[in-house]
Chains A and B, each alone.
Chain A
Amino acid sequence: MTTEAIMDQNLDLPEDPATSEAPPQVDNLDALESEAIHIFREVAGEFDRPVILFSGGKDSTVLLHLALKAFRPAPVPFPLLHVDTGHNFEEVLRFRDELVSRHELRLVVARVQDWIDDGRLSERPDGTRNPLQTQPLLEAIEQNRFDAVFGGGRRDEERARAKERVFSLRDAFGQWDPRRQRPELWNLYNGKHRAGEHMRVFPLSNWTELDVWRYIQREKIELSNLYYAHRREVFHRDGMWLTSGPWGGPREGEEVHEKTVRYRTIGDGSCTGAVESEAYTVDDVIAEVAASHLTERGATRADDRMSEAAMEDRKREGYF
């Protein structure tokens, strides 16, 4: 092992033993599951054309699992929608397609590449395509006349998300206005919307990253293998390990290393970083997440580091 690799490894060790305690031995997963199922059924009862935003990542896989449980033994009564940035990991797309065919679901794909090809969107100088997803998403919602769109967003992810409702109304331009949110009382969700408006719905609002992983463990939910430790060629940029791909990189001066890594979040390949990890199984991941010093977004998403209000600004425009 090189000196540099040893140093990198040391950086990942917990510095303070107090933070490495085992996760609390309490089980609130039944309550969270029941709440999420209640939310799915409310939407099925009140909306005409719901859709699940589905990327093949862990949160959307958990979302789909809950939807299957909410309506069993009947099939899930809505299709899936994926906004493909064109910078997705091959493995994740394969995993997405496998799930879709196994459960006989309908998948609608909106492609950022199509928008770039015909000039409606242009590539950003930094090469990241996450912010470019908003317009294709809004157009897909409008063209398919979707009136409720399920997302896997959680309030523990980020400060602006912490203030979002479970049923979050978007105006005719798809925009979120945090100052005009409806009060949300008891478990009585208000699904009223006018023509052209739609609802974003977040069944995982009250889950934490650890809850999601404990649920994956309990329910034995299969995930894309990118979430578990594997060998990969990566290069260092902005404090993250990025992988090379059609999104470019490594640039000059960015040295490629082969490392054992995993992904904590999976998004646009140009701005989603891997973390060095020896977590090969779901049990390992739970231990790692419980001891982590960094949030999953802070560790692995360049786009959220841009400014104090990066997420709020994107959400206002119609991003998830």
Chain B
Amino acid sequence: MSNDTETLTRFAPDSGTEVALPVHTDLLRLATAGSVDDGKSTLVGRLLHDTKSVLADQLDAVHRASADRGLSTPDLSLLVDGLRAEREQGITIDVAYRYFATGRRTFVLADTPGHVQYTRNTVTGASTAQLAVLLVDARKGVVEQTRRHAAVLALLGVPRLVLAVNKIDMVDFDESVHTAIAQDFAQHARALGYSDEDVVTIPVSALHGDNVVERSERTPWYEGPALLEHLETVPVAPDPHDVPFRLPVQYVIRPRTADHPDYRGYAGQVAAGVVNEGDEVVVLPSGARSRVSMVDTPDGRAQSAAAGRSITVLLEDDLDIARGDVLVSAEEQPRVTDEFDATVCWLAEKPLAPNTKVQIKHGARTVQAMATELATRFDEQELSSVDAPEKLELNEIGKIRFRTSESLPIDDYADSRRTGSFIVLDPSDGSTLAAGLIGVPLAPLASAVTR
């Protein structure tokens, strides 16, 4: 934790100002990923069940439903498969959010479906995750979908991975099977830029509970922690803090009441860095400069506020600032440009062709945009690429050049998850077409060999 604070205060002045603590310290946001039938819902159900996050009425419902299906033991996946179609087909369709807590930490878990047609949900779950649990079936080992998911997780900047080798009971708790899978995966993870410390491999049986909450006696050769113990103790990796203060202005607060005739505040959630009263800031894209006269928080005036906090900033000068503008540190500013390259995960049925008109939402600003060039399509499994593809289809990832109707203040995604990301919208029906990451945040893709 001292480490997080250090990173967050890097850009604060040394004047001894009291600096706000990060707000996400005791919360771990995690995502799960894996292929169909790897037992993901069962593992999540097991985690919830064994941390006593499942209450008696929910468990009763699972027992009843399992009995109705002719099962002799309760099917814990029924705890998480919430939609009728999911239970009928025995699959998970949509990303589901789960909440559980232990004495050490609170967890927000995005449970994402494994079927290849739902890869877009892995992207969704990974976008906010600090750790991902990737499942493989011990009988099958690392498969195409495992490599694809790991690449998506790396691309979206999920800093830590757990490979859960599930159904270890089905291979008679054989150490050599586990070791071979761990080595195979470690090689792939290294190629994606993960260091060995960022990846932990755990043999589990979600069905029987081995190494999920308690270490199992049936895997005496495994010396690491059980899954839950690891989740409780792994240091929470903060989002990259390679950029200083950024605040996308969501709303201008002007009460114009008798008590507050002149209050004019710029409301938003701090996207990166720290802001202090008295700091010099720049308004983008206009470039106007001013100083912070007050940091107003939901609890009143404060000396400073850090990334994650929703605040209202008041400035010394009366400037023309509206929703969509960004307040940034005067010291290190983002690029302001109307043309940039980005890595795009295409999430819509309708494919992307060159010169398609779209809209881009970046921070609190939505602008008209054109995908002017489809530069590259990545094969995230082979870590190779194809130049100048004709189109980008559902679940494909590529490098696209965009031109926008107005200039945007942007950072590289690798430096800042919040100010380096955007969503692509369909101007005709408003649907979300793609997830956009500025630059190519994954080194092996950036240097991928063209096939």
Q: State whether A183 touches B432 (Cβ < 8 A).
A: yes
Question: Of the 9-residue stretches B123-131, B176-184, B278-286, B327-335, which lies at the interface with chain A?
Answer: B123-131
Choice from B55, B85, B124, B267 contacting A295 with Cβ under 8 Å: B55
Choice from A27, A161, A185 contacting B421 with Cβ under 8 Å: A185
* Majority-rule SS of A interface residues: loop
Tally A residues with Cβ within 8 Å of B.
Answer: 62
Q: State whether B27 touches A31 (Cβ < 8 A).
A: yes
**Complex-state Cα separation, A293 to B152, whole angstroms:** 38
Report B20-43 CB contacts with A as 1/0, cut-off 8 Å.
000110110000000000000000
A24 CB contacts on chain B under 8 angstroms: 101-106
A293 CB contacts on chain B under 8 angstroms: 55-57
- Say yes or no: is B14 at the interface (Cβ < 8 Å to chain A): no
**Complex-state Cα separation, A158 to B27, whole angstroms:** 22
CB distance from A228 to the nearest CB of B (A): 22
CB distance from A221 to the nearest CB of B (A): 13
Q: State whether A309 touches B84 (Cβ < 8 A).
A: yes
**Complex-state Cα separation, A183 to B123, whole angstroms:** 9
Q: State whether A298 touches B57 (Cβ < 8 A).
A: yes
Question: Of the 9-residue stretches B252-260, B384-392, B397-405, which lies at the interface with chain A?
Answer: B252-260
CB distance from A23 to the nearest CB of B (A): 8
- Say yes or no: is A105 at the interface (Cβ < 8 Å to chain B): no
A184 CB contacts on chain B under 8 angstroms: 124, 432
**Complex-state Cα separation, A38 to B105, whole angstroms:** 24
Q: State whether A185 touches B94 (Cβ < 8 A).
A: no
A162 CB contacts on chain B under 8 angstroms: 80, 82, 96-98
Which partner residue on chain B sits nearest A19 by CB separation? B52
Which partner residue on chain B sits nearest A158 by CB separation? B82
Choice from B26, B87, B127 contacting A28 with Cβ under 8 Å: B26
Tally B residues with Cβ within 8 Å of A.
Answer: 72
Which residues of B72-112 have CB atoms within 8 Å of chain A's CB atoms? 79-85, 87, 93-99, 101-106, 108
CB distance from B2 to the nearest CB of A (A): 17
CB distance from A131 to the nearest CB of B (A): 17
**Complex-state Cα separation, A186 to B421, whole angstroms:** 8
Choice from B101, B253, B308 contacting A31 with Cβ under 8 Å: B308
Q: State whether B430 touches A41 (Cβ < 8 A).
A: no
- Say yes or no: is B116 at the interface (Cβ < 8 Å to chain A): no
B251 CB contacts on chain A under 8 angstroms: 41, 44-45, 71
- Say yes or no: is A314 at the interface (Cβ < 8 Å to chain B): no
Report A148-166 CB contacts with B as 1/0, cut-off 8 Å.
0000000110111111000
Q: State whether B430 touches A37 (Cβ < 8 A).
A: no
Q: List 22 A-B contacts (CB under 8 A).
A: A24-B104, A24-B105, A26-B26, A28-B27, A28-B106, A30-B308, A72-B253, A75-B255, A155-B97, A155-B99, A159-B79, A160-B83, A163-B95, A183-B121, A183-B347, A184-B432, A185-B127, A186-B128, A188-B422, A190-B423, A293-B55, A309-B83
Query: A residues near B, CB below 8 A?
Result: 18-19, 21, 23-28, 30-31, 33-35, 37-38, 41-42, 44-45, 69-75, 155-156, 158-163, 178-179, 181-188, 190, 192-194, 205-206, 208, 210, 292-295, 298-299, 308-309, 312
Extra contacts, 15 of them, besides A74-B263, A159-B81 (Cβ < 8 A), are: A26-B26, A26-B101, A31-B23, A70-B267, A72-B253, A73-B253, A74-B253, A74-B257, A183-B123, A183-B124, A205-B97, A208-B99, A294-B55, A295-B58, A308-B65
